[in-house]
Amino acid sequence: MGRRTKARECAFQILYQWEITGEPMESVKDGFWRLRSGTAPIRAMAERLACGAQSRAAELDEVIAEAATHWRLDRIATVERTILRLGAYELAAEDATPAAVVLDEAVELAKRFGEADSPAFVNGVLDAIRKRLRGPQR
């Protein structure tokens, strides 16, 4: 597993734990790194993504709700909602990362942590968000 992939997985897990526990992000991060090791670059990227997505959760949720036609946000499972927040944050704030990479990594997270239909759902919603935020070609 590559460094960036590992960082995204850690970011997903941190963000998921924050969502489930409702604890402050600092406490979640501290607890996470006590149990999981990671190099300084992995930690830095994971924390940047998790904290960025957490700080913009309300805004990202609006974008997700708009893209997830026929789905209320509260009806989307926490795993998928967390993956979508992370992916939407990267599409919105990490311009240096190609959209195809963001979508592929999110689909891989959905395969690993979600249900059987999660990858297709995540791909469809993030593709709609990509078109809205980056246009059809990026």
pLDDT digits (tens, 9 = 90+) for 20-67: 999 999 999 999 999 998 899 999 999 999 999 999 999 999 999 999
Structural domains of the chain, count: 1
Residue 39, domain CATH: 1.10.940.10
Written as six digits, the tokens of 47 are 């924390």
Q: At what angle do helices 118-134 and 99-113 cross, to 10 degrees?
A: 160
- The pTM assigned to this predicted structure is 0.94
Using an 8 Å Cβ cutoff, are 15 and 86 in contact? yes
Residue 70 pLDDT class (50, 70, 90 cuts): confident
Put residue 23 in one of left, alpha, beta given phi > 0 → left and psi -120 to 50 → alpha.
Answer: beta
pLDDT digits (tens, 9 = 90+) for 111-127: 999 999 999 999 999 99
State the distance between the two ends of the chain, measured CA to CA, in whole angstroms.
25
Query: Which structural domain, as residue segments, surrounds residue 79?
Result: 3-134
- Count Cβ atoms within 10 A of the Cβ of residue 128 and give its class: 0-12 exposed, 13-18 middle, 19 or more buried: middle
* pLDDT confidence of residue 136: 74
Closest by alpha carbon to 133, among 66, 75, 43? 66
Dist CA 83 CA 13 (whole Å): 9
Dist CA 11 CA 74 (whole Å): 21
Residue 69 pLDDT class (50, 70, 90 cuts): confident
Question: What is the number of helices (H) and of strands (E) in the chain?
Answer: 7, 0
